Each structure stands twice: as C-alpha cells, then as structure tokens.
Chain A
Amino acid sequence: MNARMSIVQLSGLKKYFDSVRAVDGVDLAIDQGEFLVILGPSGCGKTTLMRMIAGLEKPTAGHIEIGGEDVTDLPPRKRGVSMVFQSYALYPHMNVFNNIAFPLRAQRRELKFDKRAIRERVESTARVLEIDMLLDRRPRQLSGGQRQRVAIARAMVTQPAVLLLDEPLSNLDAKLRANARDELKDFQRSSNITAIFVTHDQIEAMGLGDRIVVMSEGKIQQIGSPQSIYDDPANEFVATFLGSPSMNILSADRFRFGFRPEHFLPKTLHDNPENSRIFHYFVKRVEYLGSDRLVYGYVHGHDNDLTLAKVPSNVRVSLDIESDYEFAVHNRDIKFFDNVSGQRIEQQSLAQAK
C-alpha cells in the first residue's frame, strides 16, 4: 500500500458489450490529490473505464471503491464524483448560473443549501474560473473555451472527491488548448482535487499527468510518470504509441529492438561511440521542420523497415539524400522487445540467453 491514501480503487474491473471486451480486467489505485491521465488510442476502453467510475456504465465484473466505500452498485449521484464531458453537456435551456447551480440544487437537502448559500457558492466558483461576468448568458452564447470553464465550474461546485474529465480539451482549437491545459493543471494543484483525465492526445497526457495509465484493448499496458513511460516503456505498444514520430522498431532473429528518432544521430555527434551501436544508414529523404530535420531512410540489413532520425537543425552536419552515413544510438537508448509478446526484455538477460 502507498503512503498516501488511495481514493479510488479499481479491482478486476471488466466491461463486455456482447462479445466486445471494452475493459478487460483493470486494477488501479488512484491517490488523493493526484492528476491521473488515462491515455490510449480510440476504442481502447478508456472512456468506458471512466464511465464505470462515474456510474454511468455497470461493470460486467469487478469492484470500484471510492473513498474506501464499495460503490460498484451505487448510482452516479451517490458516488461523490463529478464529470466534465467531452461535449461539455451544458444544459442549453439554463443560463450559466443555473447550470453551475444545478448540482447544488440536487443536494440542497443534504448539504442544507439555501438560496443565498447557492448564490455565494456559484459566484465564488465562477470567480475562480473567471466566468463570473458570464452568469446570465446561455451556453450557446459562449465560446468553446468559456463553455469548457462552465463545465468545469459545474463539476467543481459541489467540491467532489473525484473529478472525471473526458477529453475536455479536444473541442478547443489548438491555440486555446495549450492555455487551457496550463490553467487546468494550476486549478487542480490549487484545489488539490483528485482528477482522472481521459485523452488520446499524448502531449496532453505528458503535460498534465502526475501519472499516466496507458491502455490498449481494454487492458492497462503501463502505469507510471510521464518520463518513466517515455524513457522506460514496458512493451512495444507503449514504446510506439508515445513519441512523435514514434519509435523505430527493427527485427532481429529472436527479438525486436527499437530506438527513438531523436536518439538516432550521426556517429560524429556522439561523445563516446564505444558505448553506442553503429548502424549504416541510407538517407532517402530529409524534411526540414525548423527546429529539427526529420530524416527518412533505411538501416542496412533492415531494408523493409522505414527508419526515422530526428536531427536538431542547429548541429551542422550535412545530410544529402540518396547517400550512406554512419548513424549511432547510445546503448542505453536501445530497447529490446520479445518477438511474440512484445514485452520489454532487459539487455542483460538477452546477453545471458546467448
């Protein structure tokens, strides 16, 4: 058990839709005050997982505990969670004030909110999210960014134990998104709320998450900090899913190995080539992307696997197309994967096997 108390505990959680295994046995503990990101390609079960935590989907098997209480069979309203939907799901027939007050009014009896208490609570929440001047507007009169804030305000106003966010940034345009990401993180820090954030956008995941859960085909592939997931992927799926462009994977006889394009550099740029592995690299094409050059080519002996290299623009190495070069990767940057299962293999165990 961790030193910090885990607020959400999922054990053996499964959800089958007829024969489709949307979520296939998930065990996960989420700590109090943590920003947890669930990352995966579309259809990997991440949204289903979140909907089960919210209570909108009934698990086929397994248990959900929130705050130490088994909530598996409880309806959403008794779970103490709030949710921000991808479409925001603001009530179009209510103004912003009533949208934010809506959850408070549901709990009026239990929390003993009178009209004034509701007004104060809504206004203070709106002030935190800087939407206090919009309280009289209808949702359709708001911009995308404003709608998103209203949705977050509505989710936060009851001060829930857990905040669930289902790709809330995906409807914003690219410029707003970076800004919203920053604000969301600040907001979560300062309010010390536990946030579970579902996304398919790895940049969002890396930027926001204290921990990232990578999911694929209904299963958790890896859990860890953004850095550990990127630098130390548990299997080939995680390795190739993260990173843009993704990791180069080459086949050897009994295993596969991979390295990231940014680690695949001309030999002359490596300080001590003894610790590196040298590849003969045929450059097919070079894309100049401003800060980097993206090189497309083939490693000698792997003529079917397109291999990419990302060479910083500020290093003065000339790369001509249709030419051979010597490229190298530092040994620690090469990852080995099992041929069949795709699981990571440690280099030592590989050496022993030989």
Chain B
Amino acid sequence: MGLLSWVLHNFWALLVLLFLALVALRIAWRIHKYGATRAEFAYVLRRSPFYLVVLTFCFFAAAPFLIMFMHSFKTDGDLYRRPQPFVFRQDPTLEHLDALFNNTAYLEFIRNSVVVGIAVVIITLVLSLPAAYALARLTGRWGERAGMLMFLVYLVPPTLLFIPMFRIVVLLGLKDDPMSLIVVYPSFTVPFSMWLLSGFFKAVPPELEEAALVDGYNRVEAFLRVVLPLSLPGIISTIVFTFTLTLHEFIYGLVFIADTSQRTLSVGVPTELILGDVYFWQPLLAAALIIAIPVGLAYNLFLDSLVQGFTMGAVKG
C-alpha cells in the first residue's frame, strides 16, 4: 500500500518522468547508432515539434482513462469535495476495488461476458465464414442482393426486436440464462462479420484458388488452405470486433436476464453500481477501466487490418 500510495500521489510527475526517460532513451539510441553529430542534433530538434503535437493528442485520448484510473483509488471525501481529478488530497484507498471484487458479482459478470463472447464468436465465424466466401466469390445475379438483404437485418435496431426476441427466449426456456444471449447475439454479429469478411476474401486473388483447384484440391480445401490463411488478419479483426459487439450490447442483456449472477458486464456493472440516482463512482470507473484495457490493446493490435476490412470491399465493389 505504501508504494501504491506513493505512486498515486506522484502520478503525474511520474508520468512526465517516464516520458522524458523514453525520449532520452530514444535519443541515446540514435546517438549510439549514428554518432553525436551536429546533423543528428539538428534532426532531433527538427522532429521535436512533431512529437509535441502527437503527445498532445495522445494526452487527450488517454486522459479519460488516466482519470478513471486515479478516481478508482480516491476516498469518498476526496472525490466529492470539489472534484479535482489530478491530485490526491487524502491518501488513496483500495476499499472500492475490494468492494467491486468482493461485494458485487463483478467476477461473475466477467465470466458470463467471456463465455457469451467466445460462444458468439465461434457461432459467428462458423456461419459467416462460408457466407462471406460465397458473397465474395460465388455470387450470381441474386447473390449480391441476398447479401444486401442480410445486411438489412443488421439495420433493424434491438430496441424494436427485444420484445419479440424475449418471447422467443421464454419459449425456448432460456430466460435468466446467458445461453439466451448466445442464441440472440448472432442475429447482429453474423451480418456484420459477413460483410467485413467478404471484403477480406475479395482481396485474395482468385487465381490463387484456381491454382489450388488445378493443383488437386476441391473448393473447400482450397478455401481452407489458401484463402483462410491469407485472410487471417481479417479473421482476427472480425473476432475482436464481434467480441466487443457482444461486450457492449445492453438491451438484450438487460431484458433477457433478471438474475444478477447470470448477467453480463454491460448490464451487471451499471445495475449493480448505480442505485437510482446514486452512482458508486469509484467501483464503476474501476469496473469499466479493467475491461477496457484488454479490449483497447486488442483493437490497437489489429487496427490496421480492421480499417482495411472496412474499406476494402468498398473500393473493389
């Protein structure tokens, strides 16, 4: 606690120091590589304004997360007495984190969300991989239109669908069961993934598949051995995207499941930590931040191929 307290008290100073250390390391590395010449010095000076601008934008992007991080450790007194996001006036505390993990079903929310997310990703891939491939390669005159029609499904908002969907869920006996979400979520993840994936498949030259066909494989094998490995970045970004779609879905999760321990993160966290107009800010922010970090990392890793996936189909038509 002593170390954590010290780190949090000096959080911003440490952040600046860390940044300066990184800059110093970078410059040292360049000098090691190219020598401490005037030209090198001039280069560093010339590039500095650029990095300053980048840094400013980085700060804007990161500030919400940093503030969430700091607030998670604040005592009620510190938080509510004239909000002051950047400093600790009272010693930081772990009591809210403790409450989040021990007095709420946060871990169960995570477990439910992960189970639902993984199951939906698998169902989505099984359904949308062949559909996307068909849409990319084997469309006749009606194929493209059928694809459009499927995308229309995605445009019908859940706010219209949740009542009929709820009746179906009850009919299936899945009320209060995360299974209900596994059944319903593909209704919006499949059309979306299908369009995303077909963009990636269209980018694989048809001759490669034809070569595989001539080399002695049938169409399924050609797909598995040539098209699939080549569109792996696209498939991974589809997985990330589908997973986050299920992660932030709210209305189905709220309606289908009333039992707290069966709820997912997106529903469980706000219902447990907002009671009427009372917001338990610290555990709320901590809960959001903890789940945001892995998702943010995954997005950043696959950002390039994700953007590629969105634009590819559009350009090729």
Closest 10 CB pairs of A and B: A106-B216, A103-B215, A89-B211, A89-B207, A77-B216, A76-B213, A83-B214, A76-B214, A93-B229, A85-B207
- B204-227: which residues lie under 8 A (CB-CB) from chain A? 205, 207-208, 210-218, 221, 225-226
A154 to B212, CA, bound (A): 11
Asked whether B205 lies within 8 Å of A77 as measured between CB atoms, the reply is no
- Residue of A whose beta carbon sits closest to that of B219: A75
Closest chain A residue to B207, Cβ basis: A89
Give the shortest distance, in Å, between B4 (CB) and chain A (any CB): 46
Q: A82 contacts which chain B residues (CB < 8 A)?
A: 214-215
Q: How large is the interface on A (under 10, 10 to 19, 20 to 34, 35 or more residues)?
A: 20 to 34
User: A75–B215 contact, CB under 8 A?
Assistant: no
Once the chains bind, are A106 and B215 in contact (CB under 8 Å)?
A: yes
Is A194 part of the contact surface with B, judged by Cβ < 8 Å?
A: no
B208 surroundings in chain A (CB, below 8 A): 89, 91
8 A Cβ contacts from B126-174 to A: none
Q: Does A307 contact B (CB under 8 A)?
A: no
Q: Which chain B positions have C-beta within 8 A of A102?
A: 212, 215, 225
A62 lies within 8 A of chain B by Cβ:
no
From B214, B216, B218, A56 is in contact (CB under 8 Å) with B214
Residue A54 lies at the interface, judged by CB distance under 8 Å to chain B: yes
CB-based contact B230/A75 at 8 Å = no
CA distance A85 to B207 in the complex (A): 7
Q: How far is the CB of B279 from chain A (nearest CB, A)?
A: 51
- Which B residue's beta carbon lies closest to that of A158? B216
Given A77-B213, A87-B207, 7 more A-B residue pairs with CB atoms under 8 Å apart are: A55-B214, A77-B215, A83-B210, A85-B210, A106-B217, A106-B221, A154-B211
> Beyond A89-B205, A93-B230, is A75–B218 a contact (Cβ under 8 Å)?
yes
Q: What would be 28 A-B contacts, judged by CB atoms less than 8 Å apart?
A: A54-B214, A55-B213, A55-B214, A56-B214, A75-B218, A76-B210, A76-B213, A77-B213, A77-B215, A77-B216, A77-B217, A77-B218, A81-B214, A82-B214, A85-B207, A85-B210, A85-B211, A86-B207, A87-B205, A87-B207, A89-B205, A91-B211, A93-B230, A102-B212, A102-B215, A103-B216, A106-B215, A158-B216
Interface residues of A in 76-109 (CB under 8 A from B): 76-77, 81-83, 85-87, 89, 91-93, 102-103, 106-107
Interface size class of B (residues with CB under 8 A): 10 to 19
Cα A76 to Cα B215 with chains together (Å): 8
* Least CB separation from B226: chain A residue: A91
Q: Are B211 and A83 in contact (CB under 8 A)?
A: yes
Complex alpha-carbon distance, A85 and B217, angstroms: 17
Complex interface bits, B230-243 against A, C-beta within 8 A gives 1, otherwise 0: 10000000000000
Q: Which residue of A lies closest to B204 (CB)?
A: A92
Q: Which residues of B contact A103 (CB under 8 A)?
A: 215-216
Choose among A56, A81, A87, A154 the residue with the greatest number of B CB atoms under 10 Å from its CB.
A56
- Across-interface contacts of A158 in B (CB, < 8 A): 216
B173 CB to closest chain A CB, in angstroms? 45
Chain A residue numbers with a CB within 8 Å of B207 are 85-87, 89
Contacts of B226 in A (CB 8 A): 91
Give, as a whole number of angstroms, the nearest-CB distance from A155 to chain B.
8
A180-201: CB near B (< 8 Å → 1, else 0) gives 0000000000000000000000
Chain B nearest Cβ from A49, distance in angstroms: 15
**Whole-angstrom distance between the Cβ of A131 and the nearest chain B Cβ:** 17
B residues near A89, Cβ cutoff 8 Å: 205, 207-208, 210-211
Interface residues of A in 94-141 (CB under 8 A from B): 102-103, 106-107
CB distance from B231 to the nearest CB of A (A): 10
Q: Check B230 against A56 for contact (C-beta < 8 Å).
A: no
- Of the candidates A54, A87, A91, A107, which one forms a contact with B216 in the assembled complex, judged by CB atoms under 8 Å apart? A107
Q: Report if A77-B230 is in contact (Cβ < 8 Å); known contacts: A87-B205, A89-B207.
A: no
**Nearest-Cβ distance from residue B311 to partner chain A, whole angstroms:** 21
The CA of A77 and the CA of B230, in the complex, are separated in Å by 22
Q: Within the complex, what minimum Cβ distance (angstroms) separates A218 from chain B?
A: 21
Query: Closest Cβ of chain A: how far from B27's Cβ, in Å?
Result: 34
Residues on the A chain within 8 Å of B218, using CB: 75, 77
Closest-by-CB residue of A relative to B210 is A56
Counting chain B CB atoms within 10 Å of each CB, the highest count among A81, A83, A89 belongs to: A89
A107 to B213, CA, bound (A): 12
A268 to B225, CA, bound (A): 69
Contacts of B229 in A (CB 8 A): 93
- Least Cβ–Cβ distance between A160 and chain B, in angstroms: 9
Expressed in whole angstroms, the Cα–Cα distance for A89 and B209 within the complex equals 9
Residues of B within 8 A of A76 (CB): 210, 213-214
Name the CB-closest residue of B to A77.
B216
B185 to chain A, nearest CB (A): 31
Flag A43-82 by CB within 8 Å of B: 1 or 0 each.
0000000000011100000000000000000011100011
Identify which of B211, B212, B213, B214 gathers the most chain A CB atoms within 10 Å of its CB.
Answer: B214
Which residues does chain B contribute within 8 Å of A55, judged by CB atoms? 213-214
Give every chain B residue within 8 A of A86 (Cβ-Cβ): 207
Which single residue of chain B is at the shortest CB-CB distance from A166?
B207
Residues of B within 8 A of A85 (CB): 207, 210-211
The answer to whether A92 touches B230, judged by C-beta atoms less than 8 angstroms apart, is: yes
A56 touches B205 (CB 8 A): no
| Minimal beta-carbon separation of A118 from chain B (angstroms) | 13
Q: How far is the CA of A135 from the CA of B211 in the complex (A)?
A: 19
Given the complex of chains A and B, what is the CA–CA distance between A86 and B216 in angstroms?
Answer: 19
- List of B residues within 8 angstroms of A106 by Cβ: 215-217, 221
Query: How far does the Cβ of A104 sit from chain B's closest Cβ, in whole Å?
Result: 9
**In the complex, what distance in Å separates the CA atom of A332 from the CA atom of B38?**
80
